[in-house]
Structure 1
Amino acid sequence: MKFPLISCVMFLCFAFALEAVSADWPAFRGPQGNGVSEESGFATSWDSDKNIIWRTPLPGPGNGSPIVIGDEVFLLCAEDQGQKRSTICLDRADGSQKWIQTVNYDKIEETHKTNPFCPSTPASDGEHLYVWHRSAGMHCYKLDGTPVWSRDLGEFHHIWGGGPSPLLYKDMVIQLCGPGERTFLIAFDKKTGETRWQSEVEPGGSASDKGRYVGTWATPSIVNVDGKDQILCPYHTRVVSYDPQSGKEINFIEGLHAEKSDLCYTSLMIRGETAVILGGFRGPGFAFKLGGQGNTTESHRIWHTGDLRNPQRIGTGVIVDDFVYMANADNSGSLECFSIKTGEQTWKLPRSENGPHWASMVFAEGKLYATGQKGTTTVFEPNPEKLEVVSINKLGEDCNATPAFSNGEIFIRTGAAIYCISDKALAKK
């Protein structure tokens, strides 16, 4: 099968693909961090009774996504209002629990009811598991659950809770800490947990100031510019590029500041030398050319959409060829397609059966998968001229987590359970 070009940069291959086998889904948004699976054999239709291999109840809800390493599935889950924050390992064959490691936190941290505690996704290099528990620290485990190291980074406060997930790069773990007044990027040594470097604090906020909200829930990305790797980190008003070895700021692009609020939920979407970032709460979005030094807003920004013209965006879309496909978090659950070159919309479905989308979109075997808060996944073709729906699949449970795709199986985490979905389900019974 011939796949469209998703990114000439292959922007996270250094972070994940070198250390993960092809069937693994080792971190948020997959092997390359772009929501793309290059495997085949995935189901395009299912419901609560069809193509379900197993369903495992979870001790609490969560927005953090599952990852898959070999024969095991990993995810985070909280209990007791976040005072127990657990890393759970399941057997991918039947969904049974293999081990659990719980971090106790004796305070009730702030968050929003739609963003339960443990909203991050773990990351793995195939040997260890890296987990961000926000105020309860950063933790490393062996894949058998043995603790390796932990770091206490202090408390993080925001009335809407957390979200960023770990990014693995060579021998480092990169974590965007925040949102809140203490928002910064930090690099840990993968083996010891020691700090390699830490960026300056990006001024933020923990609560509303006269109706204005500020914060970033994005996960950073790795890009290669002129033969050198860079970390791209979306903050609430700008995107900053860092040298991954030193943590030194290389350049930044402004454009996420909005009249009402400065918010960023989506991660970057990258193709070739172009990146796209979208603001939250109907804020602006823009595309920019990679590279440059210092403030490159004027020289490298390609297009910019105005304030309050956009739908709410929380999950990240996927770029196929020269077009961005987005599943939006507005109440109507709209789907849309727009040009990466101009930002102009080519089509929009104003309302879907999915409801608001918080999960990020996934592209697999030539199909796009958009999962909404109602637990409904719309599968459709990547056609920039019109929406071509393949199927609409209902689980009947709320869902904010991004699915994991591995070796012909789809893993969907809902508010009550995690599912393993495959059209080979009947053969396994």
Structure 2
Amino acid sequence: MTKLRGGLTMGLVVIVVAAVWPAAIWTAPIWAAPGANAGDWPQFRGANGNGVAEGVDYPLTWSPQENIKWKVDLPDAGAGSPIVSGGRVFLTSATEDGRQRSLLCVDRSDGKLLWTRTVEFGEDITHSKNPFGSTTPASDGEHVVVWHGSAGLHAYDFAGKPLWSRDLGEFKHIWGYGSSPIIYKDKVLLQTGPGERVFLTAIDLASGKTLWETDEAYSGDKSPDDVGSWSTPVVAQVDGRPQVICAMSTRVNAYDLDSGDLMWWCDGLNGSRYDVVSSSPLIGEGIGFAMADLRGPAMGFKLGGTGNVTASNRLWHVEKRNPSSVGTGVLVDGHIFRPNSGPGTLECLNAETGESTWKSRAKDHWASMVLAGGHLYALSQRGSTIVLKPNPQEYEEVASNDLGGVTNATPAFSEGQIFIRTEEHLYCIGK
């Protein structure tokens, strides 16, 4: 296999597996490709990257015997979330040692496996709680793109034909990898890392060629094992044009979409013991919210400006007594509803002040929260989904639905159906 560092990968080994399963709120205008549907869930946290689903008629209750349209076994584990695009469901999986990393394509209507594309790779490391196959694909309705960490970035058409592959470098960390690519119009945007080199890149969707790369140098005092960002970027309209907002290990950065230039940043995510970020930034209503993991800081900030805007734009900053944060919350009418991973709680914050208006004890939540049909959905690591109303005054639970199993993956919501992935199964939930 010949690899061109920073260029296209030539002669990449791809294994085609037979299509047989083992026994079985703020939104930007949606940009849709010719093959995309308005109700699709085409990338991590939905079409706009804000965790808000189109449509209203989503199930509130289900069980292993109720409202399950189909359920299929998965060949391997993975923490990546499913996406839905053009009548298909895409998701990642990987062997336990990471030597085979796969993209699966499933028929949305019945769960039938249509094709698998597998990339072979050598020795790698990750954490037991973050198995390989931990990223979410992205699609525009004609292409599907998946990042396999050190095993590269790969694009396919909907028939599974390989279009291009990129070797972006080595990304090894004791806690593995997890940032997902997103697609905005003709660009693939990827926040790489953690690893020796961390950068944000824009890649041409059609050709796989690099449009720009912008490095993020680390200047803190922590060891490499205690530094990293597993966050997925968000595109937002700021000052009249689209900007890419990223939560890096110590700060939130905003980049020009066309050039990759760093336009402004807000400091405040570096912690006392760790400089790590897992959740994605929340953007809406002219403000943003970002939170470090492992009980690090949380902060709210205004969008826009030039250079270091910490002094002028940071609205609030809480350094201590924060919960750990893996999954991303949802911003609704000036309030942040967030899932916490340790201690396991669901919580509501005032976005402008950071004040907690309520907190409810729950199981640990690594999946991101979703707003669909006027209700919030929060999936726990144990396969139980709490449905609640986005009430900023009090915790108002509507239902608790237990499928069992282990999962860190965020559900996908599309046209009245919910797609939940555990380590062993993929479910389609619908009335």
Q: Give me the TM-score of the superposition, normalised by structure 1.
A: 0.92
Aligned to 2:379: 371
Aligned to 2:336: 324
What is the Cα deviation at residue 11 of structure 1?
Answer: 4.5
Give, in whole Å, the separation in 2 of the partners of 1:273 and 1:202. Answer: 27
What is the Cα deviation at residue 17 of structure 1?
Answer: 8.2
Aligned to 2:112: 96
**How is 1:165-180 mapped onto 2 (pairs within 5 angstroms)?**
165-180=180-195
Aligned to 2:141: 126
Aligned to 1:77: 93
Aligned to 1:218: 231
Aligned to 1:336: 347
Does the Cα contact within 8 Å between 1:23 and 1:70 map onto a contact in 2? no
Q: 2:359 aligns with which of 341, 348, 353?
A: 348
Amino acid at match of 2:57: G
CA change 1:19–1:347 in 2 (3 A) is farther
Give, in whole Å, the separation in 2 of the partners of 1:298 and 1:204. Answer: 20
Aligned to 2:293: 280
Aligned to 1:311: 323
Aligned to 1:231: 244
Aligned to 1:270: 283
Amino acid at match of 1:185: L
Aligned to 1:413: 421
Aligned to 2:8: none
Does the Cα contact within 8 Å between 2:54 and 2:414 map onto a contact in 1? no
**Structure 1 residue 24 and structure 2 residue 32: aligned?**
no
Give, in whole Å, the separation in 2 of the partners of 1:264 and 1:253. Answer: 14
What is the Cα deviation at residue 204 of structure 1?
Answer: 8.0
Give, in whole Å, the separation in 2 of the partners of 1:38 and 1:234. Answer: 26
CA change 1:377–1:155 in 2 (3 A) is same
Give, in whole Å, the separation in 2 of the partners of 1:85 and 1:377. Answer: 28
Give, in whole Å, the separation in 1 of the partners of 2:219 and 2:179. Answer: 15
Aligned to 1:144: 159
**Structure 1 residue 196 and structure 2 residue 211: aligned?**
yes
Q: Give me the TM-score of the superposition, normalised by structure 2.
A: 0.91
**Structure 1 residue 53 and structure 2 residue 69: aligned?**
yes
- CA offsets per residue over residues 322-379 of structure 1, 9 Å max, x none? 1101111014x21110100100000001x22xx2100000000110000000100000
What is the Cα deviation at residue 203 of structure 1?
Answer: 2.5
Give, in whole Å, the separation in 2 of the partners of 1:342 and 1:13. Answer: 30
Partner-residue secondary structure (3-state), 1:117: coil
Amino acid at match of 2:66: K
Partner-residue secondary structure (3-state), 1:319: strand
Give, in whole Å, the separation in 1 of the partners of 2:317 and 2:195. Answer: 26
Does the Cα contact within 8 Å between 1:182 and 1:203 map onto a contact in 2? no
Q: Structure 1: where are the runs of 5+ without partners?
A: 1-5, 424-429
Aligned-pair identity (%): 48
What is the Cα deviation at residue 296 of structure 1?
Answer: 0.6
Amino acid at match of 2:359: K
Aligned to 1:258: 271
Aligned to 2:10: none
Does the Cα contact within 8 Å between 2:149 and 2:177 map onto a contact in 1? yes
Partner-residue secondary structure (3-state), 2:215: coil
CA change 1:204–1:58 in 2 (3 A) is farther
Give, in whole Å, the separation in 2 of the partners of 1:283 and 1:386. Answer: 25
What is the Cα deviation at residue 77 of structure 1?
Answer: 0.6
Give, in whole Å, the separation in 1 of the partners of 2:190 and 2:173. Answer: 17
* Matched length: 407
Aligned to 1:359: 367
What is the Cα deviation at residue 292 of structure 1?
Answer: 0.6
Give, in whole Å, the separation in 1 of the partners of 2:117 and 2:257. Answer: 30
Give, in whole Å, the separation in 2 of the partners of 1:11 and 1:281. Answer: 31
**Range 28-37 or range 222-231, more displaced:** 222-231
Q: Structure 2: where are the runs of 5+ without partners?
A: 1-24
Aligned to 1:427: none
Q: 1:248 aligns with which of 258, 261, 267?
A: 261
Give, in whole Å, the separation in 2 of the partners of 1:248 and 1:338. Answer: 32
Give, in whole Å, the separation in 2 of the partners of 1:21 and 1:388. Answer: 32
CA change 1:188–1:220 in 2 (3 A) is same
Does the Cα contact within 8 Å between 1:166 and 1:173 map onto a contact in 2? yes
- CA offsets per residue over residues 4-46 of structure 1, 9 Å max, x none? xx11xx34745x6897322211000011110101212111101
- CA offsets per residue over residues 28-75 of structure 1, 9 Å max, x none? 001111010121211110111111111111111111000011221110
CA change 1:270–1:174 in 2 (3 A) is same
Give, in whole Å, the separation in 1 of the partners of 2:338 and 2:348. Answer: 6
Aligned to 1:426: none
- CA offsets per residue over residues 267-310 of structure 1, 9 Å max, x none? 11112210000111111111111111111100111111123x10
**Structure 1 residue 297 and structure 2 residue 313: aligned?**
no
**Structure 1 residue 65 and structure 2 residue 81: aligned?**
yes
What is the Cα deviation at residue 415 of structure 1?
Answer: 1.0
Partner-residue secondary structure (3-state), 1:135: helix
| Superposition misfits of 4+ residues, deviation over 4 angstroms | 16-19
RMSD over aligned CA atoms reads: 1.7
